[in-house]
Structure 1
Amino acid sequence: MKDYFYLIPIAFGLGLTALTAFMWSLKAGQYDDLDGAAERILHEETDAPIRTTQPGR
């Protein structure tokens, strides 16, 4: 029973920390454009081809 006096505040502290980090990421705009990076990768016009051989051979 004594263990609960330690585990419950630790659980609340970890939950509060996770909630704070999530709220900070929302405020910072981390979830504003979820599909933009994926679309930019697929439609990039200036991609250079990947070389499979060494130059000069």
Structure 2
Amino acid sequence: MSILYLLIPLSLVLFGLAVWAFFWAVNNDQFDDLEGPAYRILFDEDDPPSPRPMRRQQDDASTPFHDRENGT
């Protein structure tokens, strides 16, 4: 019987947290669009895939100094 003195306040605290979380979610627009994400996965993306980046050529800094002077 004495456990009820612990369980009743604990359940009221948990209920209060659940009510607070619900109202926080409503105020922060968490329930605005419930169907949009479900339909979004059914449609293909209209954007074409982005092109692959081109490989950079070796810059002149990697060649020895004397080769740059001679042009070889």
What is the TM-score when the length of structure 2 is the normalising length? 0.57
Larger Rg: 2
- The count of residues paired between Structure 1 and Structure 2 equals 48
Gaps of 5+ in 2: 49-72
Matches for 1:9-20 after TM superposition, within 5 Å: 9-20=9-20
What residue in structure 2 maps to residue 44 of structure 1? Answer: 44
- Take 1:37 and 1:4, find their aligned partners in 2: how far apart are those partners? 44
What amino acid is aligned across from residue 14 of structure 2 in structure 1? Answer: L
State the secondary structure of the residue aligned to 1:2.
coil
Structure 1 residue runs of 4 or more that deviate by more than 3 Å after TM superposition: none
Identity %: 42
State the secondary structure of the residue aligned to 1:43.
coil
Q: CA RMSD in A?
A: 1.8
What residue in structure 2 maps to residue 30 of structure 1? Answer: 30
What residue in structure 1 maps to residue 6 of structure 2? Answer: 6
